[in-house]
Amino acid sequence: MKKFFTLAIVVIVGTPLWSQVDSTLFRRVNKDTSKLMLNMDAVYNRPFLSVGKTPVALGGYVEANWQHLGTDGLTEGHQFQMKRLTLFVASGISRRIKFLSEIEFEGGTKEINIEFASIDFEFHPLLNFRGGVVMNPIGAFNQNHDGPKWEFIDRPTSATQLLPATWSNVGFGIYGKKYSKNWAYAYELYLTNGFDDQIISNAQNKTYLPATKLNRDRFEESFNGEPLITAKIALRNKKVGELGVSYMGGVYNKFQMDGFTLDKKRRVDVWALDFNTELPILKTYLVGEWAFVNVDVPDTYTQQYGNKQSGGFLDVVQPVIRRNIFNFNKSVVNVVCRFEYVDWNVGTFRETSGNISEDFVSIVPGISWRPTPLTVLRLNYRYKWTTDILGNPPSKRAGLQFGSSSYL
């Protein structure tokens, strides 16, 4: 595996050097822009470089940031971050069989994750088969998460801390899509390995679905032998935009061992609604997502472990300048703002009927410059309020963030 990582890095980083020897070695792969694209297409809707006359194509992206944030008046000083380097390898095995892998190096080499590694068999536009490490299509961000596509430095909190970011598992599924004039209809359905009991037994001391990503064994075996079901339907209109509804659910606890019953089957169920559109005249781009989480938490747990959670985000992107800047002919400058809200513990205390106040609110205004469609420079001001379970005065965190992200 280490040899594969080393080879992939050499191939990507060494591209400029090899191009001096043979300028035809790598060519940008042309994308089909004649059809409506949906979030489910994000896995393959990326810029790739073909390798000579082989059926192999390479790609990837990089993100690097600076930030100066403070919490309740205490600053953390200047922080420089190498957020992630992601590499893609795709191959057309035959006309209707294709392979794609996505490997992410996060925090330098702090984390190395295989986020996607699947073979697709295309039988019919409405019936295709996918198997391997698949990205569970819950919401929109989980599949469409590439840094260069977004105008904000941080990923949405609801997509990274309410839901597990870039959540993928080993499994199989089917998907399909149909076009009809100005409409596109699509579905996805997968059975994969799933969650474990770390969602209620973790360092955060609360119900926290992303904690299950610490279980690396999920790529080799199921925690309890019960599959996780993930399904999504989406429709897109050329003039209106895209709307998606998705569901993910399954048993998360180890309910039996060696034939003995340990507990009842306890479920986690997630529903998500996502949309994106571009408003006419001003070309304002809107993208949002909202998720609802239900977890069957044992009665022996305290109420700080919520059995209901919800949250989401809304991004507003307004282009204000489209012209040549520093000899970049297709430059675009955007004014942007993100609104976020997460309620970690929806409900009331059993003893007092008072509201459980563990929630999070964030506003992130900013500006972005795209010298090319594949590269973005971002300046954000992040301001967020976090309220504890008792409803004490919120903790306030604020500061500036600057960063860049680009496809390779």
CB atoms near residue 267 (< 10 Å) = 15
Enclosing H/E stretch for 313: strand 308-325
Per-residue pLDDT of the chain (408 residues; tens, 9 = 90+): 444 444 444 444 444 443 444 555 667 776 665 678 999 999 999 999 988 888 899 999 999 999 999 999 899 899 999 999 999 999 999 999 999 999 999 887 788 889 999 999 999 999 999 999 999 999 999 999 999 999 999 999 999 999 998 999 999 999 999 999 899 999 999 999 999 999 999 999 999 999 999 998 899 999 999 999 999 999 999 999 999 999 999 999 999 998 899 999 999 999 999 999 999 999 999 999 999 999 999 999 999 999 999 999 999 999 999 999 999 998 999 999 999 999 999 999 988 888 898 999 999 999 999 999 999 999 999 999 999 999 899 999 999 999 999 998
Residues 149-162 have pLDDT tens digits of 999 999 999 999 99
Residue ranges of the domains in the chain?
Answer: 61-83+136-407
Residues 6+ apart with CB under 8 A from 176: 124, 125, 126, 127, 128, 186, 187
User: Quick one: tokens of 184?
Assistant: 């596109």
Its sign, for the CA torsion 161, 118, 231, 226, is negative
What CATH architecture is 61-83+136-407? Beta Barrel (2.40)
Instruction: Give first-to-last CA distance, the chain, whole Å.
Output: 22
Residue pair 230/188 in contact by the 8 Å Cβ criterion: yes
Q: Tell me what pLDDT residue 15 has.
A: 43
- CA-to-CA dists, residue 76 to 67, 71, 134, 371, 388, angstroms: 9, 8, 37, 31, 22
Three-class DSSP category at 197: helix
Q: Quick one: which of 202, 161, 221 has its CA closest to 297?
A: 202
Residues 213-247 have pLDDT tens digits of 999 889 999 999 999 999 999 999 999 999 999 99
Dihedral through CA 211, CA 247, CA 385, CA 204, nearest 10? -20
Residue pair 165/159 in contact by the 8 Å Cβ criterion: yes
Residues 6+ apart with CB under 8 A from 286: 241, 275, 276, 277, 278, 279, 314, 315, 316, 317
